[in-house]
Amino acid sequence: MSSESWLKISLPAFPVGFAVFVVGLYWRENILALLPPSLAFWGLMILYYIFSTWEVPGKRYPLFLTILLAVLWFGSSLTAHSLGRFVASGSYSGVTSVLPKMDFWYAYLCGFVSSAVGLHQFRRFEPLIVAQAQKDRARHDEENT
């Protein structure tokens, strides 16, 4: 696996890192409602990187997969908003009070599925992207010499 590719997919993970390190550890605020949309967005951005860098010839599933992850991000954002309202209310008394809430499960399910699909597609297509980039660089070097 190319370190350049890993760098490119780790940059969109900054919202996840911000939620964990800055909001959670530095400000000591609750990150339960911030984490799922950030995870879902990261999975969506991984797909954007893959399918804007490398085209899958003759297949339409990249478009459908990207739309599906956008819907998961939307669902995660909506349910995380409701989860955030509950966390900010007086009814919140810790993580155990959140577990029975469907907003918690929907937000995290959408967030984890989206990021897992993005990472799976990255592991699947990254060798092909690196090979294509090497071919393009070699062709570019030939043309310039």
The 10s digit of each residue's pLDDT in 37-76 is 999 999 999 999 888 877 777 778 888 999 999 999 999 9
Residue range of the domain that includes 48 = 3-144
What is the tally of structural domains in the chain? 1
Cα dihedral 102, 65, 133, 42, rounded to 10, equals -20
The pTM of the full predicted model, rounded to 2 decimals, is 0.86
Residue of 65, 79, 67 lying closest to 110 (CA atoms): 79
Is the per-residue pLDDT at 1 higher than 70?
Answer: no
Other C-beta atoms within 10 Å of 112: how many? 17
d(CA 114, CA 121): 11
The residue type found at 19 is A
Which pLDDT tens digit goes with each residue over 94-120? 889 999 999 999 999 999 999 999 999
